[in-house]
């Protein structure tokens, strides 16, 4: 089980925001983060908790291990307003968090 918080947040351009994902058991660093825009499929941002995928801007960073993980977006840009999902990738059955919607204040 993965619990994301908050479920939604409002922020301004240029703000830094942090999203949290908590696992119900120790998953090491086996966590992925996705970004999803309305009407689109999720896009992989990060694997292994903090490994940024090719092409993802450096303002995205991930951290944590064990049960507590974070996704931080520094200096929010217009294209960053989206929903973010975490996924445990340690073992089957796979599971996702409930998602965090980042909206413009």
Partner 1 sequence: QLQLQQSGPQLVKPSETLSLTCTVSGDSITGNDDYWGWIRQPPGKGLEWIASIYYRGNSFYTPSLKSRVLITIDAARAQFYLNLTSVTAADTAIYYCARGGFWRGYYFDYWGQGALVTVSS
Give residues in contact with partner 1 (CB under 8 A): 30, 32, 34, 40-44, 47-48, 53, 85, 87, 89-99
Identity of the residue, 15 or 89, whose beta carbon is nearer to partner 1 in the bound complex: 89
Q: Strands 100-104, 8-11: parallel, antiparallel or unpaired by DSSP? A: parallel
> Which residue, 44 or 104, has its beta carbon nearer to partner 1?
44
Neighbours of 100 (CB within 10 A): 21
User: DSSP string of 59-80?
Assistant: TEEEEEETTEEEEEESS--GGG
At its nearest, how many Å lie between partner 1 and the CB of residue 33?
Answer: 9
Instruction: Find the shortest distance in angstroms from Cβ 95 to partner 1.
Output: 7
**CB nearer to partner 1: pick between 17 and 32:** 32
Cα pseudo-dihedral 79, 83, 86, 92, rounded to 10: -120
């Amino acid at each position: 089980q993965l619990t994301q918080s908050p479920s939604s947040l409002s922020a301004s351009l240029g703000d830094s925001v942090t999203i949290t994902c908590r696992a119900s058991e120790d998953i090491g660093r086996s966590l992925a983060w996705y970004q999803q825009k309305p009407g689109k499929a999720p896009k992989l941002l990060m694997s292994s908790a903090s490994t940024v995928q090719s092409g993802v801007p450096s303002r995205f960073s991930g951290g944590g291990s064990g049960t507590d993980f974070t996704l931080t977006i520094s200096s929010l840009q217009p294209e960053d307003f989206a929903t973010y999902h975490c996924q445990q990738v340690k073992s089957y059955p796979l599971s996702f968090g409930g998602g965090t919607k980042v909206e413009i204040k």
